[in-house]
Amino acid sequence: MSENPYIDGGGYLDDGPVKGSRTSVLAVASLATSLLCCIPFLGVFSIIFGAASLLLIGRSNGRLTGKGAAIAGLIVGIMTAVIWGAAGAGALQVMTFYKKQMIPVAETAMYAVNQDDVAGLRALLNGDADGDLTDAQIIAFMSMCETEMGTVSGAARDFGTIWESFLNTYQRSQGNNSGGGGQFDEAITPVPIGLLTANGHYFAWVLFDGHTLSGQQDRKIADIMIMQDGKNGFTLRDDGPGRDMCDAMSLRGRTAVEAAAWVAEQRLKDAAEVDLKGAIDNAVENTIEGSSNVEVEAGAGDSGG
């Protein structure tokens, strides 16, 4: 029998795990995090854990196992990171376009509304909207914006303020209507805008002409819809895409003239309710005072007897 320990199963050439070996925790972590691909950028940790575990396994002289899990986690992690990276870059590009190309146009439109600048607002409209609207309709829209919102000081540029504007708009009503299902022309791109106004935060939809959103051409507006609350909205055009937006959001869409009449009616109702409440309070107070006088007179009569 040979005395050479490297021959005949001495154990030094065995490819199996060394006695007392264990699975690399980092390899397991790499595989586990790679499988959670629905969480953005978690693939980066899969790559780090996978690469680190492969390095440690290679230096462990067989004391660590889990190379397969580490490789799988590394590959899936790279794929996930690439996908989420592309999605993040796309989202950043969209947000940049929104802030630099869309919000300034919306602000310019609302500044024209503030200043009753009919020509200035017309310059921002596409051909269909410009041809569809009369000066009287534009002036009615401007007047209604002033009545509802007061002066517009600007548009929100961060997501938090835009969301706050949306919530504040809905809180002005008791709830939203049910239903909906309006459809848009494919050429119309509705863009949410949070408006900062003298009367608080308002939420608007500026409906852009999608044909003008590419290249270096001027961005043009097809319609504007202002949300009054979670149930009502009014539009620049009488029968434009703003009405479709109202339908899609289950809002009662009105023209500016109709909205002004509705606001006047609501204010009359509120005033009538206040007057009625005041009359009831006065009647109750007079009744209480009359009862007190009767009691006093009855007491005086008993004393005199």
For the chain, 305 residues long, give each residue's pLDDT as a single digit of tens.
445 544 444 444 445 555 667 888 888 888 888 888 778 778 888 899 989 999 998 888 888 888 888 899 889 888 888 888 888 888 888 888 888 888 999 999 999 999 999 999 999 999 999 999 999 999 999 999 998 899 999 888 777 777 776 676 656 554 444 444 455 567 898 888 889 999 988 989 999 999 998 888 899 999 999 998 888 899 999 989 999 889 888 888 888 888 878 777 777 776 766 666 666 666 556 655 555 554 545 555 555 55
Shared-domain flag, residues 120 and 76? no
Handedness of CA 98, 99, 100, 102 (dihedral sign): positive
136 domain-assigned: yes
206 domain-assigned: yes
9 domain-assigned: no
Shared-domain flag, residues 141 and 196? yes
Shared-domain flag, residues 196 and 240? yes
Shared-domain flag, residues 102 and 80? no
Shared-domain flag, residues 77 and 104? no
**pTM of the full predicted structure?**
0.63
Pairing mode of beta strands 188-197, 252-255: unpaired
Number of domains in the chain: 2
241/182 Cα distance (integer angstroms): 10
Shared-domain flag, residues 160 and 228? yes
Shared-domain flag, residues 152 and 110? yes
Shared-domain flag, residues 33 and 115? no
Round the CA-based radius of gyration of the chain to a whole number and report it.
Answer: 35
248/59 Cα distance (integer angstroms): 62
Range of the domain at 206: 96-262
- Which residue stretches of the chain are H helix? 25-35, 43-59, 67-97, 103-114, 118-122, 127-132, 135-149, 159-171, 241-248, 256-304
CB 138 within 8 A of CB 221: no
43 domain-assigned: yes
Which of 57, 85, 113 is the last residue before a domain boundary?
A: 85
193 domain-assigned: yes
